[in-house]
Amino acid sequence: MQHPAVPELAHTRTRPIHWVATATAVAAVVALSSVLQPDAATAAQAASPKAEPARTQAAPPDPASVTFPLDCGPVKALVQKKASGDLDGDGRPETVAAVHCDAPMGTPPDGVYVLTSGGDGEPRVVATLIDPEERRTVTGLSVTDGAVLATYLGYSSADVPSCCPDVEEDAKWRWNNGAFVRSTPAKAHSV
């Protein structure tokens, strides 16, 4: 069976000019839509008794972009452990980081720092929970129910050699009246 001859219509064949015209039209629509935005909604909605307020989940501060108050000389500061959570109840997460100097030998002491995002969005150190001068090595770090929990190794006296910590301790910090308050959740014991 032979099909009737249908004249070739000009609009059924695409040429480069058709693609250029289509791309230009799409670009114009996208550009126009980014300029024209709807006005903010002004109607109030009735609150549901079970409705939770919508919160934008902010990213926790990144310790990789912070300069820690730690003098490491020619080596860099190394973030050994980190944990994040809302520590002060403002709905934005903070980050807690255990940091030490990346020494080529030995086990340098850790500092534990609390980071928050500043007004410019840049992370910054706002508190020191463990100072490196305390000669502690952090073995566990977490944020649970708005509290910082840490397990660390230390020394029973200044006579104990740096190679051989002989005490394991647990500590807990909770934000209270503008400061981190430390408590001991479990008894210290020898290792």
Q: What is the mean pLDDT of residues 164-186?
A: 90
User: Is residue 181 classed as helix, strand or coil in its secondary structure?
Assistant: strand
- Is the pLDDT at 146 greater than 60? The verdict is yes
Looking at residue 46, its pLDDT comes to: 45
- Is the pLDDT at 16 greater than 90? The verdict is no
Local confidence band at 187 (pLDDT 50, 70, 90 cut-offs): low
Looking at residue 186, its pLDDT comes to: 56
- Is the pLDDT at 80 greater than 60? The verdict is yes
Q: How many CA atoms lie within 13 A of 31 on its CB side?
A: 6
Q: Which of 78, 84, 33, 32 is nearest to 58 (CA)?
A: 84
